[in-house]
Amino acid sequence: MYQKHQLKNGIKVITAPMKGTKTVTVLVLVGTGSKNETKENNGISHFLEHMFLKGTKKRPTTLDISKELDKVGGAYNAFTGKEVTGYWAKVDGQHLDVALDVLSDIFINSQFSPGKIKKEKGTIIEEINMYLDAPMRFIPDLFEQLLYQNQSIGRKILGTKNNVENFKRKDFINYYQNYYTGENTVVVVAGDVKNDDIYKKVSKYFRAVRRSKPSERSKSYDKQNKPALKLQYKKTVQAHLCLGVRGYNSSHKDKYTLDVLSVILGGNMSSRLSVEIIEKKGMAYFIYTGSENYQDVGYLVAHSGLNSNRLEEAIKIILREYKKLTKTKVGDEELKRAKDYIKGKSLIALESSDAVASFVGHQEIDTGKILTIQEKFAKLEAVTADDLLRVARDIFVNEKLNLALIGPFKDKGRFERILRF
């Protein structure tokens, strides 16, 4: 069971005790990401995440920070998303104070040295280059650009090279002050913990975080009335595609139905698209279907890489499988398999303290309400074949269809002609 407590400075502390583990994970989440950026400062959330690991007054260098956790065998990292940024450390339970000390130090006392900012620009620009040179990794970004156009949620988390090159220390300070506040921060401690001790410890280490409301979060919306296509030319042997539809946000009652649909379509090797495209046709090494639920918007998408000469055939197969779900109910056995798959994967993941911390913390950031895994499974079990048919008929329609492509193509017309249900 999870327990939540709010400190005087507004920070929400969530404890998630686990039996049978000797590890503990501390995860610090801030309710901001690239969604809260403008076109001019796109990329600053991610750049700031990098700068948190570059030095504090107590630990002046990256090495000083890393060796604190290395000496106790800890695992640690940070990440930036569209709506959340996180910093975490996983250690032997007896070294909880080490994790709290290091994470609170970088969170409160990072220096954002102009010299280190200048040096880090090169690192991030090469990270951008790495993504641009890897179609398999970049195509999901291209798909979201297509979905959300000029909205902030559609921009790349890494930002642009031009922005990265022009960021100044004052830009980081302003963004930090606007969003890194107590009321916008969640600290999760999961694993080998005792509730009574944790609140005092977190309060001790994070008491210097100021209490104030963060700047207002950006809103996202769906707007589309016909199929949309985004084509990026790249001279490659293999083409990469994301073909999907608009779906539901993280609070929507049908997000569990969307999860089941995505598994049936392409969630595993026995899914419909895997059987049709990989097993029967031998057209691709992988095809995957997943659903994304942001706070305001969401989508379902199929992602694959395949020989460019067979791309049109693959698009037609994906569209055919989408359409089938609007015509014929899913059978009881297939529905049960999809539900059991989701439950099994979830339980396997939640055997580790870092996964439990993420499971709890992201729910708090997304909706402010934490469901246990049993409560989530109950909602999943409530999904019926009628629900799948109803949702399929809602989302698999022409005006919600979107196709992003990376490959040796310049003629958009050939693909626009087949974007029809």
Strands 85-92, 238-246: pairing is unpaired
pLDDT (tens digit per residue) in 340-396: 999 999 999 999 999 999 999 999 999 999 999 999 999 999 999 999 999 999 999
pLDDT band of residue 194 (cuts 50, 70, 90) is: confident
pTM, two decimals, is 0.95
pLDDT band of residue 421 (cuts 50, 70, 90) is: confident
Structural domain boundaries, residue 352: 228-416
Tell me what pLDDT residue 129 has.
97
Same domain, 190 and 253: no
- CATH number of 337's domain: 3.30.830.10
Tell me what pLDDT residue 172 has.
98
Residue 252 has pLDDT above 80, yes or no: yes
Same domain, 255 and 139: no
Same domain, 178 and 257: no
pLDDT (tens digit per residue) in 266-275: 999 999 999 9
218: in domain: no
Ramachandran class of 20: left when φ > 0, alpha when ψ lies in -120 to 50, beta otherwise = left
Same domain, 100 and 161: yes
Residue 196 has pLDDT above 80, yes or no: no
Same domain, 82 and 114: yes
Tell me what pLDDT residue 1 has.
77
Same domain, 281 and 146: no
* Residue 165 appears among annotated catalytic residues: no
- Tell me how far apart the terminal alpha carbons of the chain are, to the nearest angstrom: 46
Same domain, 166 and 244: no
Same domain, 194 and 104: yes
250: in domain: yes
Tell me what pLDDT residue 399 has.
95
- Structural domain count of the chain: 2
| Pairwise CA distance, residues 337 & 350, whole Å | 20
Same domain, 74 and 168: yes
Tokens coding 272: 């419909």
* End residue of a domain, out of 171, 206, 241: 206
Same domain, 339 and 408: yes
Strands 185-191, 12-17: pairing is parallel
Tell me what pLDDT residue 197 has.
82
Catalytic pick among 37, 40, 49, 334: 49
